[in-house]
Structure 1
Amino acid sequence: MIRKEFSEIQGIQVNPLKIINGPKGDVRHALKANDTSFLGFGEAYFSTMHQGEIKGWKRHNRATLNLVLSSGIVRFFAFDDRTDSVSKGAFAEIILSLDNYQRLTIGPGIWLAFQGLSENNAILNICNMQHDPTEADNREINDPIMPKLS
């Protein structure tokens, strides 16, 4: 397993996002139709997690995810086991918060897990296709063929 930066895994983009502060509340950008990571719209949903809990491992085989922090602090883990990838064997992690406000675009074939680090954690996923339970694979967090998470 090779430790890399999140954006060094083929098929992952990390895009800084803009927060526009206002006296009555802020505007947080998420995704625009002219962003290079916008591949169409299938569905958008929020995923929440309790503090300390890890969700994953999950690999989408056709879907591209655009993940944006809605609240809290979340650590994301990615693992590339694709045989045809230049980053095969790479493992990466990144922590997102409002101080590190970015969009993670995760292409098909990359394993993903995420952990809530604060009390109220939520991420928005803007996916290019509607949910299809047959297009994704799941593994337990402690699966011995997956990287050990700490």
Structure 2
Amino acid sequence: MGLTSKVSNVDWIDGVQVSPLKLVPNERGRLMEVQRFDDSIFPGFGQAYITSTFPGVIKAWYKHSIQIDQIAVIIGLLKLVLYDAREDSPTYERVDTILLGELAPKLVQFPPGIWHGFQAVGTQETFALHLNSVAFIADTPDEERLPFDTDLIPYKWS
């Protein structure tokens, strides 16, 4: 049984999918299925990795031309901010803020052309699982960066 829908009653930036994840507890622990090849939003697989972010730390801004990004939080709470920089998008220049955390797990998928960044919220280190449609190649990275406090994106981190 794969992921099939967006979180209800929310209209995100065009192309962004936010899917609730199923958390299955039992007497030995818990299982959280993040993605399967038969999920309706499965973009293919290029690379999976985990990042940690210390409380209050901001990691922003990043944008890709080819890569589809997907993020799920494993431990902690993360504020993910998305900015639509695609001039041909119906949601051009829109900013969305999405909270991801272990207590209400979800997978956020966003297309190329979206500036994104995140900040750990709370008092503990946050661990996020990143599932990218293409692998990072150091010699030819599909990545643009801006400083977190740039005036080019209408968002101020707190």
Common fold by TM > 0.5: yes
Unaligned runs of 5+ in 2: 1-8
Match of residue 106 from structure 2: 102
Higher RCO (CA 8 Å, separation ≥ 6 residues): 1
Alpha-carbon offset, residue 6 of structure 1: 7.3
SS of equivalent residue, structure 2 residue 157: coil
Match of residue 68 from structure 1: 72
Paired amino acid for 1:11:
G
2-structure distance, mates of 1:46, 1:6 = 27
Match of residue 16 from structure 1: 20
Which one has a larger percent helix, Structure 1 or Structure 2?
A: 1
**Alignment match of 1:124 (pick from 118, 125, 129):** 129
Alpha-carbon offset, residue 7 of structure 1: 4.7
Match of residue 136 from structure 1: 143
Match of residue 148 from structure 1: 156
Alpha-carbon offset, residue 51 of structure 1: 0.2
For normalisation by structure 1, the TM-score amounts to: 0.92
How many pairs were matched up? 146
Paired amino acid for 2:80:
F
Alpha-carbon offset, residue 61 of structure 1: 1.0
Distance 1:90 1:6, change over 3 A: farther
Match of residue 81 from structure 1: 85
Distance 1:105 1:135, change over 3 A: same
CA RMSD of aligned residues (A): 1.5
